[in-house]
Copies of this chain bind each other. A is one copy, B any other.
Amino acid sequence: MSSYGGIDLGGTKIQAAVIDEQNKVLGQARRPTPTVGGPKDVAKEMAETLREAAQAAKLEPAALKGIGVGSPGVIEGGNVSTARNLPGWEGTFGLAKALKSALGVGGISVKIGNDVQVATDAELELGAGRPYESLIGVFWGTGVGAGLILDGKPWLGQGGAGEIGHMVVKMNGARCTCGRRGCVEAYAGRAAMEIQARKLHEKGRHTDLFKLMKEHDRTRLTSGIWERALAHEDKLATELIERAIGALGAGIASAVNLLDVPAVIIGGGLGVRLGDPYAKRIASAMQPHLFADDRPPDVHVAKLGDLGGAIGAALLVRVEA
């Protein structure tokens, strides 16, 4: 049976998976995304992560039928440009070529897709989206992005659709990491939330967030750190998560008012980690903003969890094979 590799390139972590023709996960691996250096260093780390996943599947990378990548940024063929939340990736980088070279697998097809779109496609084909023809996949992590499925097909617009994180929910509101004001991501993106937590902590607000971060040997406030702080009823963490949920509720409801889809899938690092109780809270936060409030969309957590991105990336080449 043929095997396929998938790599999900996130702002915080690189997740790799190897699947077979029946979408069974044969092996997986995860590494933190480099925070310094540039695209070359990121590509090297991606190759290492995939090598580990192949090893877990008892395979050589060269034995894979193809490798798919879910990447942020603007994707044109094997090139990725302006990948936000990744170090030194302002320009254009030949990611497919660099990956092949780092893995020593010149002959294997490498296909790159949009990170949130491939994760949404995976949820549609194999996960929580299976019952629906149309849906919005919302990925709540370092940033906030969306994949749109309309009548069974991905909607990409001119290539840049799905920027739900940059829908405006508060004119003249909080500064976003993108430089604009009042975006969903300015309140709900983990990067923006960390900046805000640090600012308030430095101003004297008590929080265990940064203590937990050090205890767990992290350099960032990961989804796990947020989860722990919430479990400890850390007041600042709770406040910032509630603020995030409010913005997600307004933004997702706005998207539903515009598109009238029957389902919303909540994925991403924070979405998956915080899981069902928080998906329910997002649904509650949407409710007061929904125009057709007598028939709110179903809201589910991404069923493939953290692996959805990597599986969706592998589907890029499995479909092609």
CA distance A253 to B178 in the complex (A): 15
- B146, B170, B247, B257: the one within 8 Å of A167 (CB): B257
B291→A178 contact, CB < 8 A: yes
B258→A161 contact, CB < 8 A: yes
Q: Could you say how many copies of this chain the assembly holds?
A: 2
B169→A157 contact, CB < 8 A: no
B163→A291 contact, CB < 8 A: yes
Q: Tell yes or no: A225 within 8 A of B by CB.
A: no
Most buried by B among A159, A171, A178, A262: A171
How many residues belonging to A are interface residues under a CB distance threshold of 8 Å?
A: 43
CA distance A148 to B260 in the complex (A): 11
- B171, B253, B257: the one within 8 Å of A246 (CB): B171
Name the distance in Å between A262's Cβ and chain B's nearest Cβ: 6
B180→A260 contact, CB < 8 A: no
For A177-192 the 0/1 string (1 means CB < 8 A from B) is: 0101110000000000
- B159, B247, B261: the one within 8 Å of A157 (CB): B261
Residues in chain B near residue A171, CB distance under 8 A: 169-170, 173, 246-247, 250
With A157-B134, A171-B250, A246-B171 given, is the CB distance from A257 to B166 under 8 Å?
yes
Q: Tell yes or no: A158 within 8 A of B by CB.
A: yes
Show 14 residue pairs from A and B whose CB-CB distance is below 8 angstroms, ordered by the A residue.
Answer: A148-B259, A157-B261, A160-B291, A162-B260, A164-B257, A166-B289, A167-B258, A170-B171, A171-B246, A171-B247, A171-B250, A178-B291, A182-B250, A254-B254
Could you list 10 further interchain pairs (A-B, Cβ under 8 angstroms) beyond the known A156-B260, A166-B257, A168-B169?
A: A134-B157, A150-B155, A157-B259, A157-B260, A157-B261, A161-B258, A163-B291, A166-B289, A170-B170, A171-B247
